[in-house]
């Protein structure tokens, strides 16, 4: 099961992981009212769909190109215009297919002081029966591209679930990113918080891309992605409640509701 970025960030924050201050706006809400309280400065407006590549995706309305799925704006007035422009439009990315997805939610966040961007991700390595934690200095780039073009820039630690993530492993990952000793001291609790969220919520994937280092040397999740093990959702009604049926393939949703495993493939029966 997948959730939206704004939902992942709310969960991150509950585990002590710093995230930008922002607000999620659902189609039908008053955008102006929801923006009240945010700083009238640089803001990021992000379409919330279950697909990557939003920043490079094409936003269309009535067949006309009206922008991208992630934009930076100056001030609340521009943020309101950008959010209203996204809501109800169709966003097409490399992961949505040619039909794209309708944007029913947007996230508006305050800008951050970005000194450097990194990649941080966690997945279950079923062959090793470990959680694989991956970091890279190539933040903001799809990890698949990094793996294909510069695999030496990906550093991995495998965590024994019997003992959990050890501090020395967090330090190894931090130093692999070229962080100073002081920055590593700040990085270790950050990665430990993400590991706790991953394990306690039965996640199958956690990704922060980019993970940013701010001007004062602290770390923040500028983006966030969380997928969960469907077989463990019975333990987490609070996660199941975050499910957005509008983002799922109807046939797969119907199959899941009847406890069937179903994956739609391309092709025809002819």
The one catalytic residue in 109, 157, 183, 207 is: 207
Tell me the CB-side half-sphere exposure of residue 104, using CA atoms within 13 A. Answer: 8
Based on the residue annotation, tell me whether 149 is a catalytic residue of this protein.
Answer: no
Evaluate the CA torsion angle 6, 7, 11, 12 in order and state its sign. Answer: negative
Q: Where are the alpha helices (DSSP H) in the chain?
A: 5-14, 31-35, 76-86, 143-149, 167-176, 181-200, 237-240, 250-257
The one catalytic residue in 5, 119, 157, 247 is: 119
How many other β-carbons are positioned within 10 Å of the β-carbon of residue 99?
A: 8
Phi-psi region of 7 (alpha: psi -120 to 50; beta: other; left: phi over 0): alpha
How many other β-carbons are positioned within 10 Å of the β-carbon of residue 52?
A: 18
Based on the residue annotation, tell me whether 119 is a catalytic residue of this protein.
Answer: yes
Residue 143 vs residues 2, 126, 223: alpha-carbon distances, Å = 18, 19, 14
Q: What is the DSSP string of 136-193?
A: ES-TTS-HHHHHHH-GGGEEEEEE-TTT---HHHHHHHHHHTT--HHHHHHHHHHHHH
Q: Do 190 and 208 form a contact (C-beta atoms < 8 A)? A: no
N-to-C CA span, the chain:
32
Which sequence positions are flagged as catalytic? Answer: 119, 207
């Amino acid at each position: 099961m997948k959730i939206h970025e704004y939902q992942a960030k709310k969960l991150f924050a509950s585990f002590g992981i710093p995230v930008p201050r922002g607000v999620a706006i659902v189609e039908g809400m008053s955008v102006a009212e929801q923006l009240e309280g945010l700083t009238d400065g640089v803001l990021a407006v992000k379409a919330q769909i279950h697909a990557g590549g939003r920043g490079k995706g094409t936003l269309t309305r009535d067949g006309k190109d009206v922008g991208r799925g992630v934009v930076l704006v100056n001030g609340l007035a521009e943020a309101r215009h950008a959010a209203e422009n996204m809501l109800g439009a169709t966003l097409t990315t490399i992961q949505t297919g040619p039909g794209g997805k309708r944007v029913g939610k947007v996230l508006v966040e305050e800008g951050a002081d970005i000194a450097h961007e990194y990649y941080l991700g966690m997945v279950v390595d079923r062959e090793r029966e470990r959680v694989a934690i991956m970091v890279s200095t190539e933040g903001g780039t799809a990890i698949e591209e990094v793996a294909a073009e510069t695999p030496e820039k990906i550093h991995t630690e495998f965590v024994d679930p019997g003992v959990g993530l050890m501090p020395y492993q967090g330090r190894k990952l931090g130093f692999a990113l070229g962080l100073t000793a002081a920055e590593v001291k700040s990085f270790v609790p950050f990665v430990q918080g993400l590991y706790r969220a991953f394990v306690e919520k039965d996640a199958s994937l956690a990704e922060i891309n980019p993970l940013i280092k701010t001007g004062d040397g602290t770390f923040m999740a500028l983006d966030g992605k969380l997928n969960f093990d469907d077989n463990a959702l019975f333990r987490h009604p609070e996660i199941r409640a975050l499910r957005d049926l509008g983002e799922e393939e109807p046939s797969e949703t119907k199959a899941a509701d009847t406890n069937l495993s179903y994956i739609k493939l391309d092709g025809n029966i002819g």
